[in-house]
Amino acid sequence: MEKAVKDAVKIGYRHIDTAQAYQNEKGVGKGVRNSGIDRKEIFVTTKLAAEIKSYRDGVQSIDSSLETMGLDYIDMMIIHSPKPWKAFLEDNNFAEGNIEAWKALEEAYKAGKLRAIGVSNFEKNDIQNILDSCTVKPMVNQILAHITNTPTALIQFCKENEILVEAYSPIGHGELLKNQEVATMADKYKVSVPQLGIRYALELGLLPLPKTANPEHMKINADVDFEISGEDMKTLKNLDKIKDYGEASVFPVYAKE
């Protein structure tokens, strides 16, 4: 992980996304500290574990991430999920627990431990629950968004509330690589499928978060200086939705789709 971060920074990346659940915060912290560039130039995001649904646990968990990463501050911390992963498909919305976890983030933000705070995998009602009680609005909602899966209503709601939408898995956890219609469109623009997926998110005003530890893929993913026509964007938005995310289907966010 340390090498992946240092490779990414060398190529030109400045936003590193991790999470408590990924169990790689220590390596990310080392990579950032040993990157060879000013700490202020790197934007580090981590995520409060989905199971943290109390103020006390939130406070302890935030401090734990700071200690694990060896950083004086974290650029952004977000609630990983509105529900604990084991309860992700259940009806309970954990409204009170999310308010408590958000209070811990707000406190750390006001103390300067965190420079920005947000949420992830939150639907409209989950976000409204926070908006109704917060003193600091969520700045980001990180969601699954890619060609064939564009939650337009949720994206619009976030934009109306000045919440930046970050799109993780802009290549559909690799499943878009198997889609012939997407491949044909990528050929039209003389780009790779990952490049098309990343550009698609950018055209929608989203911040795409491609995932790779391969330096060559990092370079390719960053080379998206082209535009997709309005007609082709409409075509991509209306392609049949991915029904099977392969090995990723075991994860709740993909199972839900």
Note down the domain range covering 118: 1-138
Question: Which pLDDT score, from 0 to 100, does residue 183 have?
Answer: 98
Kindly state whether residues 204 and 248 are assigned to the same domain. Answer: yes
3-state secondary structure of 16: strand
Kindly state whether residues 134 and 180 are assigned to the same domain. Answer: no
Question: Which pLDDT score, from 0 to 100, does residue 251 have?
Answer: 87
Question: Which pLDDT score, from 0 to 100, does residue 257 have?
Answer: 65
Percent of the chain with pLDDT strictly greater than 70: 100
Report the C-alpha gap between 235 and 148 in whole angstroms.
10
- Average pLDDT over the chain reads 96
Tell me which residue has tokens 């190529």.
11
The answer to whether residue 67 is domain-embedded is yes
CATH number at residue 34: 3.20.20.100
The answer to whether residue 178 is domain-embedded is yes
The answer to whether residue 221 is domain-embedded is yes
The answer to whether residue 85 is domain-embedded is yes
Kindly state whether residues 134 and 37 are assigned to the same domain. Answer: yes
The answer to whether residue 160 is domain-embedded is no
Residues annotated as catalytic (active site), given as ranges: 22
Domain count, the chain: 2
What's the pLDDT tens digit per position in 59-97? 999 999 999 999 999 999 999 999 999 999 999 999 999
114 with 74: CB under 8 angstroms? yes
Say yes or no to pLDDT of 45 above 70. Answer: yes
The answer to whether residue 7 is domain-embedded is yes
Element containing residue 209 per DSSP (H, E): strand 207-209
For 8-16, the CB contacts below 8 A with 24+ separation are 8/218, 9/35, 9/36, 9/37, 9/42, 11/215, 11/218, 11/219, 11/222, 12/222, 13/218, 13/222, 14/41, 14/42, 14/43, 15/42, 15/43, 15/45, 15/209, 16/42, 16/43, 16/44, 16/45
Kindly state whether residues 36 and 109 are assigned to the same domain. Answer: yes
CA distances from 224 to 42, 210, 234 (A): 21, 12, 19
Tell which residue, 91, 154, 98, 153, has the closest CA to residue 131: 98
Kindly state whether residues 24 and 127 are assigned to the same domain. Answer: yes
Position 244 confidence tier, pLDDT thresholds 50, 70, 90: confident
The answer to whether residue 96 is domain-embedded is yes
Residue ending a domain, among 85, 118, 138, is 138
Kindly state whether residues 22 and 123 are assigned to the same domain. Answer: yes
Percent of the chain with pLDDT strictly greater than 90: 93
- Burial level of 2, CB count in 10 A (0-12/13-18/19+)? middle
Mean pLDDT of 148-168: 97
Question: Which pLDDT score, from 0 to 100, does residue 248 have?
Answer: 86
Kindly state whether residues 12 and 71 are assigned to the same domain. Answer: yes
